[in-house]
Amino acid sequence: MNPKPQWIDCTVLGIATASLALFLLGAGVAVGQDGGIVPIEAAEIATVMNDDDVSEDVGSVADEAMHIDLLSLINRGGRFMIPIGIMSLWVVALAAERMISLRSKKIIPADLVEELEMLAERPEGFSPSIAFQACADAPSPAATVVRGMLLRTGQPVGEIENAANETIQREADQHAAPIRWLHLAAAATPLMGLLGTVWGMIVAFHESTTLTPDRSRSEQLSEGIYTALVTTLAGLIVAIPAAILAQYLENRLAKLFHRVEELAFDVAPHMAAFVGRRRLDPDGNLRPFDRDRREGSGEKKSPTPPPVGSKARAGKRS
């Protein structure tokens, strides 16, 4: 018995597969929940496919509607966005300037700290003249505080520490002044945005009274209100970072000047050896304390009164 050629089997299998595909495409079958076979018309398949296309179109339109352009919002904010924009630039400039100014090497230079520590550990003792020159070589708030202490050399240590506290407070207030403007920006910018929102809502309700027949009042109000809220959003966007930056810079300032205070109180005990003995002149030279005090006072000695007995004898002779 001769075997069948292989191409015959392939042809039969192809014909059967094509017939099954044509049957399913023409009649359409679907399996229901109860396991039965439910016929589906070709028109229904076309309708379902058209519904899918329509839903995709609606979804794309909805996505486009939900997309909000930032530039269009800024334009809708109107003239109230101008002061808010100026405030934002001001906040950025102040924050950048304070970030640069409140660096450790600007407030308390490491070279100055090392020089003062070396002077404190010298076997021959602390030298106010050398410390004064070190402060001149490293201008900073810490150098200003230490220089003020050195100029009081010869006075009691308590007075020197009080002078240091006053200088630290003065320097800290000077460096904290720009940070106060950041607090002002954080407080005022939301109010600017709220003012723009209130004005926008007034305009929206006013325009709703003069509507054209082709527009509904709800549509007009919704558009006007969402436009009015843009200024409040912009004000909060500026105010929140300004408040965070102001608090951060205040904490940074407090930490830096706490280190300056520690440095000043480390230097003060080494000046006890000069109390009542020597003092530092404005040029940084040590001079005897008593001589400086007499020359600085400018007081003249009162003439010594003559003895009482000599006056009496002079009266009798006359």
Most confident of 78-87, 215-224, 289-298, 306-315: 78-87
As beta bridge partners, residue 281 has none
- Give the mean pLDDT of 62-75: 60
Count of alpha carbons within 13 Å of 270, Cβ hemisphere only?
23
Residue 16 in any domain: the answer is no
Is residue 3 assigned to a domain?
Answer: no
| pLDDT over 90 percentage in the chain | 25
Q: Residue 305 has what DSSP assignment?
A: P
> Is residue 61 assigned to a domain?
no
Match 């220089």 to its residue by tokens. 147
| Weakest mean pLDDT among 52-66, 165-179, 182-196 | 52-66
In a domain, 277, yes or no: yes
299 has pLDDT over 90: no
The pLDDT confidence band at residue 23, using thresholds 50, 70 and 90, is: very low
- pLDDT bucket at 129, cuts 50 / 70 / 90: confident
Residue 138's φ and ψ, nearest 5 degrees, are: -130, 75
Flag whether 170 is in a domain.
Answer: yes
For the chain, the first-to-last Cα distance in angstroms comes to: 185
**What's the pLDDT tens digit per position in 230-255?**
888 889 999 999 999 999 999 999 99
| Residue 222 resides in a domain | yes
Per-residue model confidence as pLDDT tens digits over 263-275: 988 888 888 888 8
Q: Which residue has the tokens 């017939």?
A: 19
Q: Does residue 188 belong to any structural domain of this protein?
A: yes
Which tens digits make up the pLDDT trace of 215-229?
A: 666 766 777 777 778
Query: pTM score, two decimals?
Result: 0.64
* Mean pLDDT, range 89-98, rounded to an integer: 92
Q: Is the dihedral of CA 212, 216, 217, 222 positive or negative?
A: negative
Query: How much is the pLDDT for 61?
Result: 40
**163 belongs to a structural domain:** yes
Range of the domain at 165: 80-292
Contacts from 84-93 at CB under 8 Å and sequence distance 24+?
84/189, 84/192, 84/193, 84/196, 84/231, 84/234, 84/235, 84/238, 87/185, 87/188, 87/189, 87/192, 87/238, 88/189, 88/237, 88/238, 90/181, 90/185, 91/182, 91/185, 91/238, 91/241, 91/242, 91/245
Please report the pLDDT score of residue 25 as a whole number. 45
The more confident residue out of 120 and 170 is: 170
Take residue 160 and report the two structure tokens written for it: 């020197």
Predicted local confidence at residue 124, as pLDDT: 76
At 214, the pLDDT band (50, 70, 90 cuts) reads low
As for how many domains the chain has, the answer is: 1
Binned at pLDDT 50, 70 and 90, residue 121 comes out as confident
pLDDT above 70 coverage of the chain, percent: 64
Statement: residue 118 has pLDDT above 60: yes
